Structure 1
């Protein structure tokens, strides 16, 4: 079984500091993150999606689609630890045919014990490129997952990470910070919900879109850029007016 040091990236100390600064590890669920995992699952035609945050020795779940929010789990037992370790998209097309290594073997065994056969995860990176968690998709059957699909998953993960940073800065800024977060959060939630509604319509009309057609991926990329612009506008408001000085470096680097 791997020891935790084997699962820790070289910047583990800085990564954990960034996670603590985000002040989201033990926060309540928020609808905007629930909408993002729902959109991710519907877009890629997979039954399970979740946002996970990786602490020193355990993983904590911020949002989940397709199953109840899981309790915290040991770091070595989750494939998300591989995403944080490598700080890139990690893909297992078919866990039943994957040769386990000492590093990922326990996590593969745990996934198979829960009837998972497919896994892909993208890192949630701060502005300083620290991977504090993952946006993941899980399925019971093997499947392909193209480079373009991976790019869109990364874009979704970027939206999640940008929201986490903006949330942190809003909630640590006096005066209008909390109200501003609620306003931006609700705007983004509504936009993501409309994209989820679109995906439900496409699936109902055309059936499961696996692999996701290129024109649908291009559409999603464009709409996600619009979402990112909403977040950027929210960040600019803080930078130009009531921003807490401790948040300035994080927002200026996005």
Structure 2
């Protein structure tokens, strides 16, 4: 009879508990077996055990924190037994067979209600149900009302049946994990489809041309704007390369750009100038980035580009006008200036700078006539400018007397607008 224990921990009812009891309980919870309905697969095993051992009772029990819950039983009425009154509390303390030949004569068990009263257990033999991680979560046991001792053959049979219980529990646990993983995968796929739908809706409604190529330079995606630009349906673009869609010199350039991106993993963000068939110039803003796999390796190129000809031509025209204005301010013999709505200088010619006795135009910025002239001149000049701002009517060819702060007087023919 095996009674050796691997722990000296005891409950308040003097029932032994494993050293890693909390981990054992956590392991039990993983199987989600407590308080579940009876199942034929377990009931068949308990019936078989009772028959081959020729005993009146057999059970598969799982030991929770305070009760032994019986998943399957034959010859027993109770669905659960208090832990402090269960043989299972002792059986889980050793890896092999735990056997009690006559509980009525064993001081550990003789006062158990199941020994003193119905069902009057005398013989008990139990095999712990041990998880792959080594935690005993319950027992497979047989019992009888007469003292007995198992033969080695029956002891081995009981071990095999206990192993079958754990095998089924493991299969069910893995099946549940697989089902959960499948459900999570399904949710992920649904989220991915939703994300892809949003992405497609977005890229198909953007005015920009969007495409993707694989590592071999073959187009794997193109939005409708790109298809419209090439004048081809999508199925005539997918799987094609730049050489199938563009002149060779352009295709060579595109492939060189792609090769550089794939080699350096550095995006390209540039404005390209193109010469049209009529000799005019057009400009395209191009952004290309590498597509990387989960392990960081390049698997393709994605790009977006759009026409910016109007913007570039406007910028060039503005730059030209700005240069002309700068030349006018720098070389015109007339004094030319610009003021804000409060009549403060914001831009002025070199002749204004020298006339005001300044070293640079920056010294005049933010100042007004009141900083350089007496109020006799500054005030009328300010009122004229405010009237022009208010009415939009210019003042042309006005003869003005300028009285300077240092007392100097000058005359000027002025046009303001």
Which TM-score band (shorter chain)? 0.5 to 0.7
Is 2:38 the counterpart of 1:7? no
Cα separation, partners in 2 of 1:79 and 1:6, compared to 1, 3 Å: closer
In the alignment, structure 1 residue 34 sits paired with structure 2 residue 43: yes
Q: For residue 48 of structure 1, report the CA deviation from its aligned partner.
A: 0.7
Check conservation: 1:4, 1:57, Cα contact below 8 A: no
Change in CA separation of 1:46 and 1:176 when aligned onto 2, cut-off 3 Å: farther
Decide which of 101, 113, 117 is 2:117's aligned counterpart: 113
Pick the structure with greater CA Rg: 2
Whether contact under 8 Å (1:78, 1:111) holds in the other structure is no
SS at match of 1:116: coil
Over aligned residue pairs, what C-alpha RMSD do you find? 2.4
Equivalent position of 1:48 in the other structure: 57
SS at match of 1:172: helix
Once residues 4 and 165 of structure 1 are traced to their aligned partners in structure 2, the CA distance between those partners, rounded to angstroms, is: 32
SS in 2 for 1:18: helix
Cα distance in 2 for partners of 1:4, 1:167 equals 34
Out of 82, 89, 92, the position equivalent to 1:81 is 89
Residues 177 and 90 (structure 1 numbering): CA distance in 2 closer, same or farther, change over 3 Å? Answer: farther
Point out which structure has higher relative CO (alpha carbons under 8 A, 6+ apart). 1
TM-score w.r.t. structure 2 length?
0.39
Partner-residue secondary structure (3-state), 2:172: helix
Task: Write out aligned runs for 1:8-157 (5 A).
Answer: 8-68=17-77, 70-98=78-106, 100-101=107-108, 104=109, 106-107=111-112, 110-114=114-118, 115-157=120-162
User: What is the Cα deviation at residue 173 of structure 1?
Assistant: 1.8
Tell me the number of residue pairs that the alignment of Structure 1 and Structure 2 aligns: 173
Quick one: structure 1 residues 177 and 63, their matched pair in 2 at CA, closer, same or farther if it must change by over 3 Å? farther
Cα displacement (A) at 1:177: 8.0
How far 1:44 sits from its partner (Å)?
A: 0.5
Counterpart secondary structure, 2:160: helix
1:12 to partner: Cα distance? 1.2
Q: Please state how far the C-alpha of 1:117 moved relative to its aligned partner.
A: 1.3
Deviation at 1:97, TM superposition (A): 2.5
Distance 1:151 1:5 in 2: 30
1:158 counterpart (138, 144, 163): 163
- Equivalent residues in 2 for 1:214-225, closer than 5 Å: none
Distance change >3 Å, CA 30–CA 15, structure 1 → 2: same
Tell me, in whole angstroms, the C-alpha distance in 2 between the residues paired with 1:61 and 1:137: 13
Greater share of strand: 2
The structure that is helix-richer by fraction is: 1
**For residues 20 and 106 of structure 1, do their structure 2 counterparts lie closer, same or farther at Cα, with a shift above 3 Å needed?**
farther
Gaps of 5+ in 1: 179-254
- Flag the 1:57–1:175 CA change in 2: closer, same or farther, 3 A: closer
- Give, in whole Å, the separation in 2 of the partners of 1:177 and 1:50: 34
Does the 8 Å contact 1:169/1:177 carry over to 2? no
